[in-house]
Amino acid sequence: MAVALDRIRVGSAPDSWGVWFPDDPLQVPWQRFLDEVAEAGYEWIELGPYGYLPTDPARLKDEVGRRNLKVSAGTIFCGLHRGPSEWDATWEQVSRVASLTQAMGARHLVVIPSFWRDDKTAEILEPPELTTEQWGHLTRGMERLGREVREKYGLDIVVHPHADTHIDTEEHVERFLDSTDSDLVSLCLDTGHYAYCGGDSVKLIETYGERIGYLHLKQVDPEILADVVKNEIPFGPAVQRGVMCEPPGGVPELGPVLTAAQNLGVDLFAIVEQDMYPCDPDKPLPIAVRTRRFLRSCGA
C-alpha cells in the first residue's frame, strides 16, 4: 500500500511537452499544451519560458481557469556569478516573470543558473568551474535576489541545480547551500538533473531537508547517461538521445524521493518535467497520462 503523500502537490510543465523556448516552430502551440495537461489529469502547471504562454495576466487567468488549472511557479535564468554588472539585466527579466507569476497567485520563482555551454550548439561559453571570486558573486547575488523578489513580489526563489551549469554536482550543490542564507535561498531539487550529474536525491532531501523548497520530478536513462558521460555529450544533444526518460523506467526511483519529501512535513510542489525538445507533437500526451497514473500509484 502506497503512503498517502498528502503534503505533495503534483503538476506538470511545458517542458514535458517539448517546450524550451518562448517561440519555436518545433514546439506544440500553447493552447494545445494547456488542453492536454488538463486532459492528462494535472491541476498545477508552471509558466515555462516567458512568452510561451500569454503574458497578459487577465488573458492567462482566463485560459488556465477555464481548464481548471493553477500556476505554481515562473522561471528565470541568470548569470549572477559574473558579478554586480549582471544585476540590472537579471532584474529586468525577473520583474517581468515575477510580476506575471504573482498575478497568477503563485508563490515560487524557479531560478536556473546560466549554462556554461550552449544547449543548442554545444559551444563552450565559460569554464565549467567557478573561481572563488565567482562563487562569492553567485551566492551574494542569489541572496540579494531572494530578498528583493520576496520584498517586491511576495515570492520565494528556489534555485534549480541543472546540467551544464555551475550548480550541478553534489559537491557544487552542497557548496552553494552551505554558502547561502537559508532564510533567503531554497532549492528546487530536480531529481533528473541531480541524477544526471551523479547526485542522490533522497540523500540530499534527508541531509538538507530544510532547504528543499520545491521539486521537479524527472528520471534519466542510466544506459544513455553512461554514454553521455563517457563521450562528454552536452545536455541538449543528450536530451535528443532520450537521456531524460518516462518514469518509472529510469533513475532515481521516484517513490522513495516522494516519501522522503513527504517526511519533511511541509507542503511541496512536485512538478513533472521530462525534457523532450524537440519532439513529435503527438508524443507528450500519452506519456503525461501514463506518468500521472504512475504517480497516483506512488500515493501522489
DSSP string, 72-94: EEEEEEE-GGG-GGGHHHHHHHH
Report strand pairing: 268-272 vs 212-217.
Answer: parallel
The pLDDT value given to residue 2: 58
Q: For residue range 23-82, list pLDDT tens digits in order.
A: 999 999 999 999 999 999 999 999 999 999 999 999 999 999 999 999 999 999 999 999
How many beta carbons lie within 10 A of that of residue 206, not counting itself? Answer: 13
Cell of 226: 553512461
Tell me if the pTM is above 0.85: yes
β-sheet bridge partners, residue 37: none
Q: How far is CA 290 from CA 16, 39, 239, in A?
A: 13, 12, 20
Examine the pLDDT at 194 and tell me if it is beyond 80: yes
> How far is the C-alpha of 198 from the C-alpha of 134, rounded, in Å?
23
Q: For residue range 18-38, list pLDDT tens digits in order.
A: 999 999 999 999 999 999 999
Average of per-residue pLDDT values in the chain: 96
State the pLDDT confidence band at 121, using cuts at 50, 70 and 90: confident
What average pLDDT does range 167-193 have in this prediction? 98
The pLDDT value given to residue 250: 98
Contact assessment for residue 219 and residue 196, using Cβ atoms and an 8 Å cutoff: no
What average pLDDT does range 1-11 have in this prediction? 84
State the pLDDT confidence band at 1, using cuts at 50, 70 and 90: very low
Cβ partners under 8 Å of residue 287, min gap 6: 16, 246, 274
User: Alpha carbon 164 to chain centroid distance?
Assistant: 14
State the pLDDT confidence band at 168, using cuts at 50, 70 and 90: very high
Examine the pLDDT at 269 and tell me if it is beyond 80: yes
Cβ partners under 8 Å of residue 92, min gap 6: none
Apex 108 CA angle, 40 and 300, nearest 5? 40
The pLDDT value given to residue 4: 83
With a pLDDT cut of 90, the percent of the chain lying above it is: 96
Q: For residue range 70-114, list pLDDT tens digits in order.
A: 999 999 999 999 999 999 999 999 999 999 999 999 999 999 999
